[in-house]
Structure 1
Amino acid sequence: MIAHDLAARHLCRGILAHPLGLHCEVSAGQDASAGPTNISGFLDGLHRAVEHVEHGAIFLDTADSYGCGHSERMIGRFVRDHQDLPLYLSSKVGRVRGSAPHPFAGRHIHHQFEQSLENLYAEQLDLYTLETFDFGPADRYLGNAIDSVRTLRELESIKAIGMRGPHADYTSSPGEWEKQAERFLYLFRLIKPDVVWTRFNAFTPAVLLDGEDLFSFTARHGVGLVLAAPLAHGVLTGSRAGSSPSHRPASQGLARLTPPLTKRISEGLQALRDNFGSAPGTLTRLALRSCLQRGDNCVVVVGFSNEEQVEENYSCLGPALTEQELGLVDEIYVHLRGGLQELQEDSVRCVAEEVHV
């Protein structure tokens, strides 16, 4: 159990943040198709989260690739109007190539960084994350990427260097996840990050890193964790949306909510209600608490698209779950992961049958 529960946590040197922050992703397409109402809802959500009485968000997570900088600009608009707020700004680089041969080639990281600063109306970023494991053929641009972010840290343009955790589709095979873990360990030893940014929720398979789970591994190395997608894009709250606020599929696996998988998820969520009650926000609380109580080096960033979602996320947290309650939640979540694994196995079996027809 975490000693101070929802008190501010040391994510890494220079970042002392409330444990529940915001994953800020809004696409340029939203702006074009939905008009100012959608942007207004996003900004209202930011206001509500930052101003929440008890555990207001001060850690805002985004990336230059979210809406091709649109998300950064929306946060920048908010920061410009609230320069007195003690906010931590986190962005990422590695998916926007522009006219460069690769997102990590030459001075492209520095160009993207300067643009992110301008977008965010900031003079410094608290966390800057290398967003992908793709560093070009034979890792051609890996050395350049490492040198670039280390230089930014030495110049105090950023406080901390981040990298992605092991990542694959939820329905990927154990072998594929093992390859991701090996790739992560290789890059981790070279990059030597201050923080690892990773997607984590009930559907994330248990991945071992040198014989440890991600939480023990990062804690042993003195590295912070940013956990994203704690609600599995609404699936764990009982919503069948299966999409992020930008209306992109949350993942290939969760986007394909087949009847058997939907039934398995419904059974699991009902089991949670049977044990913890059906009050509004209960499923959200369990999903968030399951992440928040993993370790005191973790900050959880939760997505949103309007003020109502933010209010539920921040008002439902309640007291910490006991070890027994956490164990029960984990047991039910393991059942949900089993459903995804069965989906993957069925998919492989169907492909095999088609090949032999």
Structure 2
Amino acid sequence: MRSSPFGRTGRNVSQIGFGAWAIGAAWGAVDDSESVAALHAALDAGLDFIDTADVYGDGHSERLIARVLKERGGPRPFVATKAGRRLPQQTVDGYSAQNLEDWIDRSLRNLEVEQLDLLQLHCPPTDAYYHPEVFERMERLVERGKVAHYGVSVERVEEALKAIEYPAVASVQIIFNMFRLRPAELFFEQARRRQVAVIARVPLASGLLSGKFGPDTRFQADDHRQFNRKGEAFDVGETFSGVPYEVGLEAVEALRPLVPQGATLAQLALRWILMHEAVTVVIPGARTPQQALANIGAAQLPALPESTMAAAAEVYARLIRPHVHQRW
């Protein structure tokens, strides 16, 4: 497993990480035994970056991670979590010093640690990025030792660019995949210049880029790919990257001929992300050991040829760009 420096933190992390939203909630039925096996398989294979959040299953994801790491013992992977989505309504005032401390204390208990490796503000409202006091509160928590480093998870490129103006922001998590190219236009260059780690989330566009879905695919009622199609529960960009489902299926068919021999469409999609040097780590989800190992296998693929990159860009420009490019 190849690794990359995680910004200015002094840590190196595997280029493929483990996105732990799916083992928490909102992706249909979850089998904890399979989730535990998936985490063990990924860690056995050399993965050493796990991303979770306090709201994934109301802390269930964090607690599962703690269980696995306790079972394993030895050196711990880098575990990133998030806070802020427990607010009933997203407001700047909600990111008070007391709320931040309460959320962090809860994650410390869930993860069974005395210090969080990385705490990310979890897609706060855009206005929060223009309130320095929110970031100053995070700096105080770092100074007190509750958090080793802090960063942000954002919805929009505007938010990412504003966040990295704060010198203590160590990382930015942003949606970046074959259906969401805008971060590469300006943000990536700025992040590299400031030595800010970039975590690419939703790398498979909620599974669309696995190539396993079709017009007749049905999702469970508690799966966000069913209940958040129009942004009913949270930002619609988190579901299929904001791409209308039928358009996404058409784009997937256009991308299939680009898959390298012996690989899968999902592995192509992950390797495509790793072609962008500004990306530190990609965090696909996995609910089984097989999925976890397939994700890791993407990092072993050779570099994609320029012709593949150009063809993928053409599919984006023709089918996807009108639906997403200026929205996020």
Q: Tell me which interval the TM-score lies in, with the shorter structure as reference length.
A: 0.7 to 0.9
User: Quick one: structure 1 residues 80 and 262, their matched pair in 2 at CA, closer, same or farther if it must change by over 3 Å?
Assistant: same
Measure how far apart 1:333 and its partner are: 4.2
Q: Quote the residue 1:194 is aligned against.
A: 170
User: Quick one: structure 1 residues 99 and 327, their matched pair in 2 at CA, closer, same or farther if it must change by over 3 Å?
Assistant: closer
**Which whole-Å CA distance do the structure 2 matches of 1:120 and 1:187 have between them?**
26
**Which whole-Å CA distance do the structure 1 matches of 2:129 and 2:255 have between them?**
45
Mapped pair 1:19 → 2:15: yes
Measure how far apart 1:291 and its partner are: 1.5
Runs of 4+ in 1 over 6 A off after TM superposition: 98-101, 241-244
Cα root mean square deviation, aligned: 3.2
The within-5 A match list for 1:156-167 is: 156-165=145-154, 167=155
| 2:157–2:187 CA contact under 8 A, matched in 1 | no
**Which whole-Å CA distance do the structure 1 matches of 2:321 and 2:94 have between them?**
33
The aligned amino acid for 1:236 is L
TM-score of the pair, normalised by structure 1? 0.75
| 1:202–1:334 CA contact under 8 A, matched in 2 | no
| 1:96–1:103 CA contact under 8 A, matched in 2 | no
**Which whole-Å CA distance do the structure 2 matches of 1:252 and 1:7 have between them?**
28
**Which whole-Å CA distance do the structure 1 matches of 2:287 and 2:150 have between them?**
28
Q: Quote the residue 1:265 is aligned against.
A: 252
User: Quick one: structure 1 residues 255 and 341, their matched pair in 2 at CA, closer, same or farther if it must change by over 3 Å?
Assistant: closer
Measure how far apart 1:311 and its partner are: 2.0
Out of 100, 111, 121, which is 2:102 matched to?
A: 111
Q: Quote the residue 1:239 is aligned against.
A: 212
> Could you say what secondary structure the match of 1:20 adopts?
coil
**Which whole-Å CA distance do the structure 2 matches of 1:187 and 1:206 have between them?**
17
Q: Quote the residue 2:231 is aligned against.
A: none
Out of 279, 292, 295, which is 2:277 matched to?
A: 295
Q: Quote the residue 2:319 is aligned against.
A: 339
| 1:200–1:227 CA contact under 8 A, matched in 2 | yes
| 1:233–1:243 CA contact under 8 A, matched in 2 | no
Unmatched 5+ stretches in structure 1: 1-5, 168-179, 346-357
**Which whole-Å CA distance do the structure 1 matches of 2:129 and 2:188 have between them?**
30
**Which whole-Å CA distance do the structure 1 matches of 2:218 and 2:199 have between them?**
21
Q: String of CA shifts for 1:65-105, please: whole Å, max 9, x gaps.
A: 21221111111111222231331110011111279985412
| 1:202–1:336 CA contact under 8 A, matched in 2 | yes
> Could you say what secondary structure the match of 1:225 adopts?
strand
**Which whole-Å CA distance do the structure 2 matches of 1:198 and 1:243 have between them?**
25
> Could you say what secondary structure the match of 1:203 adopts?
coil
Q: Quote the residue 1:283 is aligned against.
A: 265
| 1:95–1:103 CA contact under 8 A, matched in 2 | no
Measure how far apart 1:341 and its partner are: 3.6
| 2:117–2:147 CA contact under 8 A, matched in 1 | yes
**Which whole-Å CA distance do the structure 1 matches of 2:11 and 2:218 have between them?**
32
Mapped pair 1:134 → 2:121: no
Measure how far apart 1:188 and its partner are: 3.1
| 1:104–1:144 CA contact under 8 A, matched in 2 | no
**Which whole-Å CA distance do the structure 2 matches of 1:64 and 1:339 have between them?**
35
TM-score of the pair, normalised by structure 2? 0.81
**Which whole-Å CA distance do the structure 2 matches of 1:242 and 1:294 have between them?**
33
The within-5 A match list for 1:64-213 is: 64-97=54-87, 103-134=94-125, 139=128, 142-165=131-154, 167=155, 180-190=156-166, 192-207=168-183, 213=186
| 1:290–1:326 CA contact under 8 A, matched in 2 | no
**Which whole-Å CA distance do the structure 1 matches of 2:168 and 2:301 have between them?**
35
The share of aligned pairs that are identical, in percent, is 22
Mapped pair 1:321 → 2:298: no
> Could you say what secondary structure the match of 2:139 adopts?
helix
Q: String of CA shifts for 1:306-353, please: whole Å, max 9, x gaps.
A: 11211211234434315xx155235324413531345579xxxxxxxx
**Which whole-Å CA distance do the structure 2 matches of 1:29 and 1:199 have between them?**
19
Of the two, which has the highest radius of gyration? 1
Measure how far apart 1:21 and its partner are: 0.9
**Which whole-Å CA distance do the structure 2 matches of 1:7 and 1:264 have between them?**
30
Q: String of CA shifts for 1:96-123, please: whole Å, max 9, x gaps.
A: 1279985412411111101101101112
